[in-house]
Structure 1
Amino acid sequence: MLEVAAVSRNVVSYICQVLHNNLWPQGLGRNPMLVALNVTTTLSFFASGSFQGSTEDLCSISQSVNYGQQINITRPIDGFSEKIFDTLDKKPETEYEHSVICSVSGSQYITTFDGTRYYFSGGCINTLVTTDLFTVSLGTNTCEEADNGNCIEYVTLTVKAIGISITLTKTGRAFLGKNETELPFVYGSATTLSVHLASSIFLEIMSMTGVHIQYDFKGGRIYMILQPNMVIETRGLCGTYNRNQLDDFMSSSNQIESVPMAFVNSWKGSTECADSPLFPVHKPCNVNHQKESYATEKCSIIRSKIFKNCHFISPEPFYDQCRRDVCSCSDSETCLCTALAHYAHVCLLHGAFIDFRVAIPECTMNCTGNMVYTLTNHACKRNCYYLSTGSSCLKLPSSGHLEGCNCPENMYFNPHIKNCVANM
C-alpha cells in the first residue's frame, strides 16, 4: 500500500542528515529504502515525473531542486515510520528557508538567487544585482594577479532613493562616495542604512531597501541576502530572482544568454574592461602540477570525516571549486581556507556546524586582545555604538551566523579600541 506525503526540501535534507549520521532508527530498512520521488513545480524546466531508488539517490537529487519547491515522496506505509515522518514534517525551518541568497566566492564563482552556479574570469566592474531601489556593484581582479589570493577588490551598494553609495574594500575600509568613513556608519538611523564590522573578517551592510550584504574582506566571499518578497525584481550577475533558473542569464539588454560569459560581459560597468572570452578554459591544475598535488591533498578535506555531518549537501562541487581556487591562487593557503570556509558556511545555513579551523592548522584563526574565535549573529546588538546611541538593529532576513574573532559572552565590541569591553 502506498501513501503520498508532501514535504519541503529542508525535510528531505534532514532525512539525508539522519542517514549520513547513522541516526536512522533500528528496525527501519535503510539501504535501500525504495521511494518514488515526484518533483512538483510550476517551472517549465522541471518536468513532472517520478524517480525510484535508494535514499542516497534521493539525497543526491534533492540538491538539484530549488528551495521553496515541494517534493512529494510516495512511500510504503509499513516501510517507513509514521513517527519519523511526523517529526520530519514538524521540523523547524532553518534561517536559510526564510532568506534568498546570492554568493560570490573563490576564483569568481557565483551562485545566483535561484541556485544557478557558474564561473567568470573577473578583472572588471560588474553589476552584481540591480533593482528599482538599489544597485550592488562588484569590483574584481583576475585571481592570478590578486594579492593574497583575494580576487574581490570591493563591493559597492548604491541606494537610489537617498542617492548615496557605500563601498567596502578588501582592506576592510569603507567609503561614502569617494571619502573614507569610520565604522560603524549609520545614515539617518540604523533602520535606514548601517555598516559595521560584524567580525574580524566580515563587514556587513544592512539597508531599508531589503538587501543585506556580508563581505569576507580577508578571504574574498560575499553573501547577499534578500527578502523573499523581492521576487521578480532583480537583474545582474546574481540572476533574475523568480524561482526560475532558465532566465538567470538575462543580459543587460533583456536577452537570455546561453553562455555565462556573454551574460557577464553584458553587465560590465566600465568600457575600459576588455570582454572576457566566451569559453574560458579554467583548468589551472592542468598547468601547475606542483600546486595540483597540494590542492588534491588539501581539498580532499571536504570529502573527509571532518565535513561528514554536511555530506547531505554534495561535497563534489565544493571540492572541484577548491582545487581550481588553490591551483589558480597566488596564496594557496588563503584560497584553501576560503574554499573550506565557504562550504562550512553553506553547511551552517542548513543546520550543520563544521568547526574545520580546529582540524586544519593552516586555517587556524588567531585572535587579538580578548576576542575569541566563534560564531556571531546580529553583531550590531553587541556593538557599543548601537547600544550607546540607542539605535535599533534593522531586522532583515538572516543568512545565519558569521565566523571570525568576536567578543565572548557578556562582552561588547568597542569599535574605537577594536576590542571587547565588559560594559559600555
Structure 2
Amino acid sequence: MAPNDSAETTGEATAVVRRRAARYIVPLAVAGVAAATIGLVPALADSGDPQLPKITAQELIEKIAASDEQQLSGTVKISTDLGIPSFGGLTDSLVPGAGASDSTSSAAPDAKLMELTSGTHTLRVAADGPDKQRLSILGEGSEYSLIHNGDEVWAYDSASNEVYHAQSDEAAPKGGKAKERTAPEGVPTTPRELAEQALALAGDTTSVTVDGTAQVAGRDAYQLLIKPRQSGSTVGSIRVAVDAENGVPLRFTLAPSGGGKAVVDAGFTKVDFSRPDTSFFSFTPPKGAKVTEADELEAEAKKDGAADKAQKDLSALEDFQGLDVIGEGWTTIAEIDVPGGAGLPAEGSGDVPAEAQQFLDALGDKVTGDFGSGTVFKTRLVNALMTDDGKVYIGAVTKDALVKAADTAK
C-alpha cells in the first residue's frame, strides 16, 4: 500500500468447533475472544495531547513493524467486559476436560491466565529478549507470577503457596528431539501482540487512520484508529496508542459497535524500556511451598483417565462435516455442521446439567427465519446461532447478521 492517511486492513473471523454445541459453543467463543484480547488495557495516565510531527497511517504501521524493543518493564492494567454472566461453578459442565481430574495445581498457568478474560486486573511485566519474561497478576494480598527464564518455566501462586515447574528435556531421545516446554501461548507481556494481530489483516473492508495524539504512561504517542467499513460487525473500532519514539504499542482499546464501555481496554500505566534487573527472572520455591512438576500432572492425568477423556473430546472435532465460510472481512461467519444434525438438547432431556441449562438460557435468544428456528448465544463481541436442525453460525457479528447468513445458506 502507498503511504496515505487511510491504510486498509481486512478482518478475519476465527471459527471454533466442538461436538456438542450445548456444552462447547459458548465457552469456546469466550476462549476465542480471550486468545485475541489477553494482554491489553488502558493506561490511566493521559495528561493532554502532545504536539508531534505529522505521520500517515501507513508510516505509523511501518513504525510498529520496525520496532525492535526487546527489553522493558512496567505495570499494565487490563479490563475485559465480554458481557457474559459469571461462570460460577459451571466450568466442569461447560468446558471439555474440566473437572476430569483432581490432579492439578492452582499454580498451573492455563486456568490462571483465563481469569484475565473478565474483570479488571493489574499486572507487572518484564522482558529481556525472547528467553526471559515475567508476568505477575496482583491480587488483594496475593500475587501470581509466571517466569520464563531460558529453558525453565516457573509459576507461583502466593495465595495457595503452590509452585508449578516445567523444563525442557536436556537430552533428546534416541532418534528424536527434546521435548520443549515454554510458557503457554498468548501469555500477555505488552499490548503489542494484539495490535499486530489487528494490523496483520489487509484489504478494503477496514479504514485505518491516524486520529490525533495522546500521552500514555508518561510517553508521547500517536493514536491509530481502526474501523470496519462494513455494517453488521460487533466491532465498532480499535484504537492503538503507539509510542512516538520507538513504535511500541502502549495502549489498546476495542469498542463494540453497540456502544457502552470498551470490550477490552489494555495498556501501560508505567513503562521503562531499559534492561530489567536479572533478579526479575530468577525464582526459588519458597520454603514449605508445594511444587508440582508438569510431567507429574501429565502422568496423573494418564493414570486417572483424564488424558483419555480429553483426547476423546479433541477427536470429536473430526466428527464435524466440514467448515464453510460466509462473507468476508469483519462480517465473516463460520458455518459448521453438527454431527448427526443434532441441535440443542431439549430442556429437561437430562443431556445438560440444570445449572448449565440456566447459563445457556441466560445467553440465548430464540430466533426464527427462512432457515427455521434456533438459538443465538450472545456476548458483546462473538455471537453464535445454533439452529434446531444442527447447524452453527459463529462470528464477531450481530444477531441479525447471523440470521441473515443462515437464511442465505438455507
Greater relative contact order: 1 or 2 (C-alpha under 8 angstroms, separation 6 or more)?
2
TM-score by length of 2: 0.24
Q: Which of the two has greater helix per residue?
A: 1
Q: Which of the two has greater strand per residue?
A: 2
